[in-house]
């Protein structure tokens, strides 16, 4: 058993960190305050060839698997950009996973190449206001017509919708009460997000403001057959396929965010002198930071184990879910502690930790909440009755 990163992984980490280093606190702070999408960072990542890290080599990707992507996302979120930086590229890496696995050759060529080049940006339209976490209760409906479908419904929280020209859209094509199983009868599309026909209304929110989130209103919108991914009625099953990689990446992004905040806290604790000595000489400051390190490190390795299992084709649901839970909790604790360590300055924007703190709570909520992860582990790992 060899539990360490390979040379290739270290090379990914260094390459990505180099790109990130060009975008400093000032840049990310301005993006957050001005609610401005980090176009320059997105372009730099595309130009460096990083957006195709999980995509097939035949399309210009690097096919480095979820493990490679995890190393990359970890490097991004531990940089000055934190979770905003990760979210800038996350959906493009990952949202289209269903196209990678279930798309036709024509679709892969047409849909994935522009994402890898950074000329297209995609958002993810799954969550609905009246369904919440109960995804099989979505009601956005795609009615079959000549040559395609007419879609009507409402999505919520569609992230990066303001700057995306494509949307991965989960719909119903058979009402839930007419399906054999609630997970049947849903159909997935990857299609144009034509804002002259679809209203994408920004939601004001607590943090991660460089990347917008939206309420999306779709009214009798035509989607061609060519944009349907896989078979009609199988959409939910395709989405399920990408859940474990998503948990892995979000979990590792959380760890990076927490480690970035912890590094800032440790630096400040070493420099700030009160009562004639650095505050970090006090165990009341030092021990909580050491504890954050331990929790973040253990989450990191749980997540890397999930990534390795996934890439070698083995079941990884328990590890991926546990990794997301541990990573998000450890990140939230580390970011909270980073604010506390800075005392009053932790509350100022100058030291950045309040920005990271605001981002960290999101990781406990989205894309899946802690409660639902624990329900999954309770049922699938511990054999307890299903509770949702």
Ligand X SMILES: Cc1cc2nc3c(=O)[nH]c(=O)nc-3n(C[C@H](O)[C@H](O)[C@H](O)COP(=O)(O)OP(=O)(O)OC[C@H]3O[C@@H](n4cnc5c(N)ncnc54)[C@H](O)[C@@H]3O)c2cc1C
User: Can you state the angle between helices 283-311 and 317-341, rounded to 10 degrees?
Assistant: 160
* Candidate list 228, 362, 363, 376; residue touching ligand X; CB under 6 A: 362
Indicate the residue among 183 and 375 with the shorter CB distance to ligand X. Answer: 375
Q: Which stretch binds ligand X (CB under 6 A): 77-85, 114-122, 261-269, 364-372?
A: 364-372
Q: Is 127 in the site for ligand X (CB under 6 A)?
A: yes
Closest-approach residue to ligand X (CB): 132
* Candidate list 82, 185, 245, 367; residue touching ligand X; CB under 6 A: 367
Smallest distance from the beta carbon of 159 to ligand X, in angstroms? Answer: 3
* Candidate list 79, 158, 187, 292; residue touching ligand X; CB under 6 A: 158
Indicate the residue among 92 and 341 with the shorter CB distance to ligand X. Answer: 92
Interface of this chain with ligand X, residues 210 to 249, rule: CB under 6 A: 213
Smallest distance from the beta carbon of 177 to ligand X, in angstroms? Answer: 20
Smallest distance from the beta carbon of 242 to ligand X, in angstroms? Answer: 12
Distance of CA 273 to CAs 249, 251, 269, 281, Å? 38, 35, 8, 10
Phi/psi-derived region of residue 142, left when phi > 0, alpha when psi is between -120 and 50, beta in every other case: beta
Indicate the residue among 28 and 157 with the shorter CB distance to ligand X. Answer: 157
The count of other CB atoms within 10 Å of the CB of residue 274 is 11
Smallest distance from the beta carbon of 328 to ligand X, in angstroms? Answer: 12
Q: Which strand (E) or helix (H) includes residue 61?
A: none
Tokens 């050491």 sit at which residue? 290
Indicate the residue among 215 and 340 with the shorter CB distance to ligand X. Answer: 215
358, 82 in Cβ contact below 8 A?
no
Which of 149, 98, 166, 158 lies closest to 128, judged by CA? 158
Q: How far is CA 92 from the centre of its chain?
A: 10
Question: Dihedral sign, CA of 378, 383, 384, 388?
Answer: positive
Helix, strand and coil percent figures for the chain, each rounded to 5: 55, 15, 30
Please give the size of the binding site for ligand X, defined by CB under 6 A. Answer: 23
Indicate the residue among 67 and 92 with the shorter CB distance to ligand X. Answer: 92
Binding site residues, ligand X, CB under 6 A:
123-127, 132-133, 157-159, 205, 213, 362, 365-369, 371-372, 375, 387-388
């Amino acid at each position: 058993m060899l539990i360490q990163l390979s040379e290739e992984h270290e090379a990914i980490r260094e390459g990505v960190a180099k790109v990130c280093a060009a975008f400093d606190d000032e840049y990310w702070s301005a993006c957050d305050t001005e609610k401005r999408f980090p176009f320059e960072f997105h372009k730099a990542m595309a130009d460096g060839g990083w957006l195709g890290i999980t995509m097939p080599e035949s399309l210009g990707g690097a096919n480095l698997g979820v493990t490679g992507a995890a190393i990359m996302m970890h490097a991004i979120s531990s940089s000055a950009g934190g979770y905003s930086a990760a979210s800038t590229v996350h959906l493009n890496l990952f949202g289209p996973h269903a196209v990678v696995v279930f798309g036709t050759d024509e679709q892969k060529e047409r849909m994935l190449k522009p994402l890898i080049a950074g000329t297209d940006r995609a958002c993810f339209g799954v969550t609905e206001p009246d369904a919440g976490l109960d995804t099989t209760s979505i009601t956005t409906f795609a009615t079959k017509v000549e040559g395609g479908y007419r879609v009507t419904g409402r999505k919520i929280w569609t992230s990066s919708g303001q700057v995306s020209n494509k949307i991965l859209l989960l719909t119903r094509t058979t009402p839930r009460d007419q399906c054999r199983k609630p997970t049947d009868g849903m159909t997935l599309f990857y299609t144009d997000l034509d804002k002259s026909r679809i209203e994408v209304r920004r939601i004001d929110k607590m943090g991660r403001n460089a990347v917008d989130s939206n309420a999306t209103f779709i009214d009798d919108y035509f989607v061609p057959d060519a944009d349907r991914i896989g078979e009609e009625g199988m959409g939910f099953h395709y989405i399920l396929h990408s859940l474990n990689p998503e948990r892995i990446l979000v979990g590792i992004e959380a760890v990076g965010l927490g480690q970035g905040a912890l590094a800032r806290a440790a630096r400040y604790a070493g420099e700030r002198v009160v009562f004639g000595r650095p505050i970090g000489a006090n165990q009341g400051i030092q021990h909580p930071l050491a504890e954050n390190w331990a929790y973040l490190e253990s989450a990191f390795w749980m997540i890397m184990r999930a990534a390795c299992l996934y890439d070698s084709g083995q079941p990884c649901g328990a590890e991926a879910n546990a990794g997301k839970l541990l990573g998000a909790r450890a990140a939230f604790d580390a970011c909270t502690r980073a604010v506390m360590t800075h005392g009053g300055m932790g509350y100022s924007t100058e030291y950045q930790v309040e920005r990271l703190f605001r981002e960290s709570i999101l990781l406990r909520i989205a894309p899946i909440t802690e409660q639902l992860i624990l329900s999954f582990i309770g049922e699938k790992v511990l054999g307890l009755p299903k509770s949702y």
